[in-house]
Structure 1
Amino acid sequence: MSINSNDTLFYEIKRLNETVYKICFEAPPHIVSDGLWSGHENERRPMKSFLTLFELQLVIIFALTQICSFLLKPLRLPKFLSQMIAGLILGISFELKPLDTYMNKFFPYGTHDVISTISSLGMVLFVFINGVQMDFSLITRTGKRAWIISIIGLFVPLCVGFIPLLTLPGRIEAIHKMHGDGIAVTVLTHSLSQFATIASLLSELQIQNSELGRLSLSSALVSDILVTVISTNIVALKTSPNSTALLRNIFLLFIFFVLIPLVCRPIMFWIIKHTPEGRPVKDSYIYVIISTVFLLGIFSVKINQEFVLGAFILGLSVPEGAPLGSTLVKKLQFFGTTFFLPIFVTTCVLKADFSMDLTSYIMVSNGLVVLAIHMVKMTACFITALCCKMPVTDAFCISLILNTKGVVEVGIYNSAFDDQVINRKTYGVMMISIMIIATIVHWSLKLLYDPSRKYAGYQKRNMISLKKNSELRILVTLQKQNHISATTDFIDLCCPTQEKPITIDVLHVIELVGRALPLFIPHCLQRQASGSTSYKSYSDDFILAFDIYEHNNQNAVSINTYTAISPPNLMFEDVCNLALDKVATIIILPFHITWSSDGVVESNDKKVLRALNRKVLEIAPCSVGILVTRANSIPKPTSEYSNTRLAIIYLGGNDDDEEVLCLAKRAMNNHRINLVVYRLVAKENIEELEELMVIGDEMLEELRHAENVKYEEVFTENGSETASFLREIMNEHDFFIVGRRHETQSPQTDGLAEWSEFPELGAIGDFLASPDLNSSASVLVVQQQLSCSNDLKGWVL
């Protein structure tokens, strides 16, 4: 049967049987069009030229995926589902009579392979990027729990799926005649947990930095490596025609797995060594690595393996993180993940046959196999997680995570379909199963898992609740080296002594770039493992600085240092987790703006630090302080006569002010600190002042009558008068401590909040931190543990 060649890119097409066509075309084919008019003379019309038609198809696919993404955004579905739905719409359009004519014009016979081949570059780069982001060395450090969950979750569904088939050889032959290898592929692929798929899911849900997310990624990493090793050997076994070819392919595969890491990884370390610190990797090195990706892909095909195998192994060989891993990810992220990959997903779904009857044997049988395998895998993971002493909700969540499907599975089924391992109807069922499973897992996790629940304050963790002479535990979060001196200055103000020691947990936060797995490094354990202090670390300067400070304050200060490498939007998880684990009393965070010694703004890190501070203020399990530091603002005492001038701004009637007074009580024990307490009193409350003092604050009374503390009451009518007073005293002090007064209104601050630029500092804190004051004084803004405040007491109880 002949097909009209005008609806194709070819001169003539004849169907010889159901699957074989005779095609006549010009070689080389028309790539570029000569335009709408001149193209008719030599048949180089736009719709007969590969490049022009390819560009038109890209525009259609891109527009449709963006429309689907916009319409599905309120449903909060995974991003790749909009790309699959776009392919589903295009596929159905071919079956609708009013649209089939236009679809055959825009997607004529002969162009599907072109766009699929070109867009497959996106899948190759996606696999390579995920290989780069994997920390392969982590597999040797992964705990037993991740190994157990991964192995049981992998092999139990495989056994349940394949043992009945292997015990019934006659049934296998009948199934093979009807399905091909569809049932076997279904059992195998739905038993797997792909690292890239799970990493994408956790990233979208923003929980990869939680304890559950870390365990899921570790389990997926183990599963992915095991499956890669097993599957490549199975492919070599099935595709080898004889024992000689089998031995050759197995030997080359072994060389492939061993030689690439042994040769390529040292070369990449050499590249890193010859890249100056703080400078980008040379583009020439990047181009060589990208070229190697495709060369290894060609070699993979030569030994009967998938093209992406070479990209995956080379990606694992790249040292994760900066500078090389992060540079490769940044260079390839756009073309690999943003541009080509959505086109690849859409064209994969476009191939599927969705014109099937819901009662058809293929759909029912494959659907039941998918359901059975997922139920078995979920049960195995759930029971194993419970045996590992995980909470019931977390155990159910990890079983859902390890059962999710995504882009990687789309690529696997597409490859199986192109190799004629599965037929078109089975391929369509698999595409539908991916969409259904991904949607169920995504919605279920959003409903069940909230990592911030564990920060709810069932116990009071603030300074006012500390018993007399009990140990003060402070968690200090740092990002840059200029935060170190500000932190040590604050610790000095807390007056650590042998009688009143302070334990400091220092957390150095680093932005996660070029790797998928967040990293948390306790350097105290790292030292014990190494047996010395001469080890390479992300935070050497921080460790050295605080080691010196601890040595200079022996028996008064105990310091533990940690490094957390995580995405900027999830750094708060590391901070709050560590505060919860170490039973911290207060968290000290750096302000996102830093000043130079002459008062000029050096940096303004709104993206990372400000977002971190605001999130920690919302969910912290203890009190929080934001430290606004100006360069060289606190003079170091060089003699017994040089003192630090500390001012406390107290308004009263607020929990935050109680924390401020606790810090003031500690500071007054240091004879090198000149402490002044300013109590701001509204003029309308002057008559009530004596009554308030009798009823109220014992700590304020203690400070008021202390010999080395100056106490002053200041009467103000509104925020304007308060601002005038603060301007007068601004240059008389080196350091200010003030309460944030979260969501509290008072006459003394009336009007100040309207001009506040940084609400996280509160009205007075924002005013004191304003660069317009030309002051050199640092400011600490304190918020008492929010979960113990009045607005959350009912929920906590």
Structure 2
Amino acid sequence: MDPNQTLFSVVTLMPQEDPSLDRIQVYNVCIQQPLKLISDGLWAHENLIPSKSSYTMLEMQILVIFFITQSFHFLLKRLGFPYLASQVLAGFLLGPSIPTGPLEAYKKMLFPFGSPDILNTISSFGYTFYLFLNSVQMDFNLITKTGKKAWVIALLNMFTPIILAGGVFVQSFNPLWTSTLGQKEADDLSVITISQSGCSFAVIACMLNELGVINSELGRLALSTAFINDLTGGMMAGLGTAFVTSVSQGYLMVARNLFLFFVYLTMIPLVGHPVMKWMVRSTPEGRPVRRIYIVAIVFVLFILSHIAKYFNQPFMSGAVILGLTVPPGPPLGSELVDRMELISTWFLSPLFVTCCAMKIDLTICGPPKFVLAVAFIIAITHVIRQAQIVAICQYCKIPARDGFCLALILSCKGIVDICSYILLFDGTQQSPTVVAVMVISVLVLGTTSRVGVKSLYDPSRKYAGYQKRNIMNLKKNSELRVVACVHKPSHMIHIKNFLQVCSPTLDNPLVVDVLHLMELIGRSSPIFIAHRLQQKTQSTPNYSGELIVIFDLFERDHAGSATANTYTAISPVSLLHEDVCNLALDKMASIIILPFHVRWTEKGLIESEDNKIRSLNHKVLERAPCSIGILVNHSSSSQNSVSYKVAMVFLGGPDDREALALAKRFASNLDNKLFVYRFVSHEHDSTNWENMIDNEELREVRGAFGKVENVTYEEKSIDDASQTTELLRDVANSKFDFIIVGRRNGVKSEMTAGLENWTEYTELGVIGDLLASPDMETKASILVVQQQQTKVLTAS
């Protein structure tokens, strides 16, 4: 391949007459018409010159960029570097920043004159869509829900570094900077503090999602702060761009561009939001948005990007404003994200970052004094930002470690920042040296922020069992606090049946917090709604209408003895367990009830199996701040009974004792019948400490304190695991409504020896797994209980 054979037949560099325009190079080119788009292929007899075929060169460039990027990422991800670092390093390698010796000729062949422009143009579409989709996922209503803490942190985080770093370290020492560096270089320092004082909501949300802390308390505060900071910075950037690019043409042009910018900023939401609301209303519930609506929105996006240039705004400003106008979440927001995310976020945007990095030449970074000055201003700006965030967090009684993690999060830089710096470079608003140092700072800040937060912040540490939050340690006749989780409508009736069997009375009160768990789609910010508060404010769409009605009726039917609060949590599937554990911690719950992930038909066949629910159950079992019960239902029918027949299978251990404590509360209603089956090994040692505790807990149901009319106690001697299976089969066939067992987490005995190898669902334990097996042919609901874990568990 001849590097001189390109899309243009003659390329000549013209002499520059104006020395002040040293960065602008003028070429004289001749274009051969018609342009050749596609190569004749490997078997062509003539004109086999791929570099003269624009589409062929584009394919080769994309393949090489992705190969180099993935190679870098394969090595760097093990050291904690983000994917962005690999994209930038690929740009440095393919550009002039990293000399490659004998391979330089191949770089010129791969990127001949004219071909990078095509790659830049196509990838810039991807970046436009990337900004649009990230704006779609923002919830503009978040600005009205954000507390004073986030507003104070965001505004001070924006303006304090500009005032201190820009005013004190730059303007106050301007004569020193001018004499040391020169007038032009000293003027460049003023812009650096402004560019470093902001943060991008898209970058922060992506980082928090990667680290798995987006719906933690710290993550929610960081998102709210970043949202306000990003909006403020965007407004300042728009106004600054309109002023700086027009001031040379007179103040009349400045006033014109500012006026048009305000019209642009206000008319898009005023016109677009009602139209998109109409699109949502015209879409039947549960159905996807019509394709014509998606095409229309994309068409308007391109038109708005084109209009922005008439008042000197960047092409992506229309994408951001239009994206904020789209109602987040389903059906419209989620449909846009589903259709465009792959091509924009994972394909074209990485290409755009690499193309941006290819424009930087680190080999001509300018005088070392200027490089050090730029690095110093960037460093001092971030030191001021982080110090003030930590100070504000200390004043707000936020732990010092969490405050430092928040400072690291808000200092994170990413793709949006790199592309903003390159746009300044393209517009000759910043020198190559300043842009090169700022791009390097993005890599340093992006990496250190992720590594620092990952090593310092563990949201699961607050779930450590320092307090006894289980049913065994409740005082007699004290209220039972339950957190019940619902994923699907079919779960509601089974949860209600469980609450019925709890038999709430004035002497045995029940407080239940029902949490509807939904997957976060088409938005960045997780949502947590308390529907009892929502009914007063009416500020949030009603996501769980049927749930609210069912449990309001339950509370009305048990007036004075039961309280039912309903909530909706919308988060990424991998992080929903944080919402469950947070609610249980805040409400001081004694037990969390989780639905099992398998649903059976009336004939005992598996109807559906949701591994996302199973993964959530495992995470809650590991981290929960209280006891947990997994509710297994073989039947989809509603019981609605006033009395229940309940069996309790007791083998011994903490989990079985917790299950027994719950069974005793069931038996407090004399209409319920409780049957306690204790399985005892022939080698049972009654002097063993665990066995002594078991005997003490069983004294009441054994009749040691007097005959209990509605409780039947039976003791079964077991020789081996096969007898355990047979006795469980007898229990399963006895037509109980509920069967309660302990998970027996970490407990092994002769009665279950060997059965562990056949356990299919480890979260149910050996006994629970046997009872849930279709071979048992039981219609009873099975509740598997695990007592609160008192040791600190690290997050996976």
Q: What TM-score do you get using the length of structure 2 for normalisation? A: 0.93
Are the equivalent residues in 2 in contact too, given 1:94–1:104 (CA < 8 A)?
A: no
| Aligned equivalent of 2:265 | 257
CA distance in 1, matches of 2:3, 2:729: 84
| Aligned equivalent of 2:600 | 595
Q: Please, which of 766, 773, 780 is the counterpart of residue 777 of structure 1?
A: 780
| Cα deviation digits, residues 698-730 of structure 1 (max 9, x gap) | 331211222321111122223222112212221
| Aligned equivalent of 2:663 | 664
Q: Please, which of 738, 741, 747 is the counterpart of residue 741 of structure 2?
A: 738
| Aligned equivalent of 1:201 | 207
Whichever residue aligns with residue 679 of structure 1, its letter is R
User: Quick check: 1:540 aligned with 2:545?
Assistant: yes
Secondary structure of 2:680's aligned partner: strand
CA distance in 1, matches of 2:361, 2:637: 71
In structure 2, the CA distance between the partners of 1:141 and 1:738, relative to structure 1 (3 Å rule), is same
CA distance in 1, matches of 2:575, 2:659: 29
| Aligned equivalent of 1:286 | 294
| Cα deviation digits, residues 181-217 of structure 1 (max 9, x gap) | 6423322111111111111111111111000000000
What's the offset of the Cα at 1:672? 2.7
What's the offset of the Cα at 1:233? 1.1
What's the offset of the Cα at 1:462? 0.4
Greater CA drift, 133-142 or 11-20 = 11-20
CA distance in 1, matches of 2:35, 2:172: 52
Q: How does 1:354-753 map to 2 (within 5 A)?
A: 354-356=362-364, 360-530=368-538, 536-607=541-612, 609-632=613-636, 635-637=639-641, 643-652=643-652, 654-685=653-684, 688=686, 696-705=694-703, 706-732=708-734, 733-753=736-756
| Cα deviation digits, residues 521-570 of structure 1 (max 9, x gap) | 11121223349xxx841011101100001000011101111111100000
Are the equivalent residues in 2 in contact too, given 1:363–1:426 (CA < 8 A)?
A: yes
| Aligned equivalent of 1:161 | 165
Are the equivalent residues in 2 in contact too, given 1:597–1:630 (CA < 8 A)?
A: yes
What's the offset of the Cα at 1:225? 0.9
Are the equivalent residues in 1 in contact too, given 2:487–2:518 (CA < 8 A)?
A: yes
Secondary structure of 2:700's aligned partner: helix
Count of aligned pairs: 776
Are the equivalent residues in 2 in contact too, given 1:64–1:86 (CA < 8 A)?
A: yes
| Aligned equivalent of 1:69 | 73
CA distance in 2, matches of 1:758, 1:358: 64
CA distance in 2, matches of 1:357, 1:142: 42
Greater CA drift, 297-306 or 710-719 = 710-719
In structure 2, the CA distance between the partners of 1:410 and 1:753, relative to structure 1 (3 Å rule), is same
CA distance in 1, matches of 2:641, 2:43: 85
User: Quick check: 1:54 aligned with 2:58?
Assistant: yes
Whichever residue aligns with residue 646 of structure 1, its letter is V
Are the equivalent residues in 2 in contact too, given 1:358–1:364 (CA < 8 A)?
A: no
| Aligned equivalent of 2:18 | none
Secondary structure of 1:208's aligned partner: coil
CA distance in 1, matches of 2:97, 2:427: 26
User: Quick check: 1:310 aligned with 2:318?
Assistant: yes
| Aligned equivalent of 2:26 | 20
| Aligned equivalent of 2:255 | 247
Q: Please, which of 127, 134, 147 is the counterpart of residue 130 of structure 1?
A: 134
| Aligned equivalent of 1:143 | 147
In structure 2, the CA distance between the partners of 1:695 and 1:128, relative to structure 1 (3 Å rule), is closer
User: Quick check: 1:212 aligned with 2:218?
Assistant: yes
CA distance in 2, matches of 1:674, 1:6: 91
Whichever residue aligns with residue 41 of structure 2, its letter is G
Whichever residue aligns with residue 91 of structure 1, its letter is G
Whichever residue aligns with residue 738 of structure 1, its letter is V
What's the offset of the Cα at 1:27? 4.3
CA distance in 1, matches of 2:239, 2:745: 62
| Cα deviation digits, residues 136-164 of structure 1 (max 9, x gap) | 01101210000000000100111123324
Q: How does 1:105-124 map to 2 (within 5 A)?
A: 105-124=109-128
CA distance in 2, matches of 1:145, 1:695: 49
What's the offset of the Cα at 1:304? 0.6
Identity of aligned residues (%): 42
Whichever residue aligns with residue 278 of structure 1, its letter is G
| Aligned equivalent of 1:10 | 8
Q: Please, which of 25, 29, 35 is the counterpart of residue 41 of structure 2?
A: 35
CA distance in 2, matches of 1:661, 1:155: 60
Greater CA drift, 107-116 or 169-178 = 169-178
Q: What TM-score do you get using the length of structure 1 for normalisation? A: 0.93
Whichever residue aligns with residue 120 of structure 2, its letter is S
User: Quick check: 1:90 aligned with 2:94?
Assistant: yes
Secondary structure of 1:464's aligned partner: coil
Are the equivalent residues in 2 in contact too, given 1:181–1:421 (CA < 8 A)?
A: no
Whichever residue aligns with residue 14 of structure 1, its letter is T
Greater CA drift, 490-499 or 127-136 = 490-499
In structure 2, the CA distance between the partners of 1:694 and 1:363, relative to structure 1 (3 Å rule), is closer
User: Quick check: 1:344 aligned with 2:383?
Assistant: no
| Aligned equivalent of 2:19 | none
Secondary structure of 2:433's aligned partner: helix
In structure 2, the CA distance between the partners of 1:117 and 1:530, relative to structure 1 (3 Å rule), is closer
CA distance in 2, matches of 1:688, 1:167: 83
Greater CA drift, 133-142 or 5-14 = 5-14
CA distance in 2, matches of 1:668, 1:302: 77
In structure 2, the CA distance between the partners of 1:47 and 1:555, relative to structure 1 (3 Å rule), is same
Are the equivalent residues in 1 in contact too, given 2:483–2:512 (CA < 8 A)?
A: yes
What's the offset of the Cα at 1:289? 0.7
What's the offset of the Cα at 1:276? 0.9
Are the equivalent residues in 2 in contact too, given 1:122–1:337 (CA < 8 A)?
A: yes
Secondary structure of 1:77's aligned partner: coil
Greater CA drift, 61-70 or 9-18 = 9-18
Are the equivalent residues in 2 in contact too, given 1:78–1:201 (CA < 8 A)?
A: no
| Aligned equivalent of 1:231 | 237
What's the offset of the Cα at 1:465? 0.8
User: Quick check: 1:101 aligned with 2:105?
Assistant: yes
What's the offset of the Cα at 1:9? 3.1
* Structure 1 residue runs without a partner (length 5+): none
CA distance in 2, matches of 1:692, 1:72: 50
What's the offset of the Cα at 1:37? 5.5
What's the offset of the Cα at 1:605? 1.1
Whichever residue aligns with residue 650 of structure 1, its letter is F
Secondary structure of 2:485's aligned partner: strand
| Cα deviation digits, residues 326-348 of structure 1 (max 9, x gap) | 11111111011011011111111
